[in-house]
């Protein structure tokens, strides 16, 4: 009985070992974390690609959207109640291996849950989009600070080089909205 339990514990530790390292070592840089100072600079013509995308041009990269948009102004263009977008968003979430850290249902595990009322930096569209694109470390350099305390502390890795189309990230965020279990009055989107 007791040894069965230990075996289970061990198996769980081994299978989640890769991710445990990320969430346990808060001061280790995330593998994909690179500092690209030039990209952080806001250029005056940064709004041009945004306009092109709005006019039906090529898809915009999430990092270009971040750089082109004033702090606090990013807004999800998708309907978070549309079941088709929710489903697509979950596929994108799984495809980007977000589940490795946050769980397939978003309930957390090695890393913070996406389903509870606590948001580390804030739960609005603007903050979540930037957090996922820039990662924890870069986000904090852009003037976003920790407000909420989750049980697990670790850096969220930057996804700016892993997502080619901002629509994919917005859809994943739609799915995150769908699994959130907080109280209606705590909703910030
Ligand atoms: C390597 C592990 C890891 C992966 C992979 C990962 N995250 Fe995270 N994520 C974290 C950690 C750790 C935090 C907490 C960041 C902090 O405290 O600074 C976090 C925070 C978040 C938050 C804010 C949660 C809160 O309670 O405020 C969201 C939303 C989020 N991640 C979404 C995603 C999405 C979407 C993906 C996939 C595109 C993803 N994460 C992939 C580790 C990960």
CATH number belonging to domain 2-186: 1.10.760.10
- Listing DSSP states for 57-112 in one string gives -SPPPHHHHHHHS-TT-----S-TT-HHHHHHHHHHHHHTTTHHHH-TTS--SSS-
Counting from 1 in the atom list of ligand 1, the atom nearest the Cα of 26 is 12
Q: How far is the CA of 85 from the centre of ligand 1 (A)?
A: 20
Q: 122 near 188, Cβ under 8 Å?
A: yes
Pocket probe for ligand 1: among 24, 88, 111, the residue whose CB has the most ligand atoms within 8 Å is: 111
pLDDT at 47 over 70: no
pLDDT class for 12, splitting at 50, 70, 90? very low
Per-residue pLDDT tens for 124-172? 999 999 999 999 999 999 999 999 888 877 899 999 999 999 999 999 9
pLDDT at 78 over 70: yes
Q: What is the mean pLDDT of residues 49-64?
A: 74
- Residues lining ligand 1, judged by CB closer than 6 Å? 19, 22-23, 93, 96-98, 100-102, 111-112, 114, 118-120, 128, 131-132, 136, 150, 153-157, 159, 172, 176
- pLDDT for 133: 98
- pLDDT for 19: 53
pLDDT at 50 over 60: no
């Amino acid at each position: 009985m007791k040894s069965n339990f230990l075996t289970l514990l061990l198996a769980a530790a081994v299978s989640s070992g890769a991710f445990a390292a990320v969430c346990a070592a808060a001061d280790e840089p995330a593998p994909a974390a690179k500092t690209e100072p030039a990209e952080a600079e806001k250029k005056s013509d940064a709004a041009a690609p945004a306009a092109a995308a709005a006019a039906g041009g090529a898809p915009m990269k999430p990092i270009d959207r971040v750089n082109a948009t004033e702090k606090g102004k990013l807004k999800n263009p998708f309907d978070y109640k549309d079941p088709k977008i929710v489903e697509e968003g979950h596929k994108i979430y799984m495809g980007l291996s977000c589940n490795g850290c946050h769980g397939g249902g978003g309930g957390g595990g090695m890393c913070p849950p996406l389903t509870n009322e606590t948001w580390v930096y804030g739960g609005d569209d603007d903050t979540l989009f930037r957090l996922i694109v820039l990662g924890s470390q870069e986000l904090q350099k852009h003037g976003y600070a920790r407000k909420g305390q989750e049980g697990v502390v670790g850096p969220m890795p930057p996804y700016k080089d892993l997502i080619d189309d901002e629509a994919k990230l917005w859809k994943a965020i739609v799915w995150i909205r769908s699994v959130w279990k907080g109280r209606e009055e705590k909703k910030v989107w």
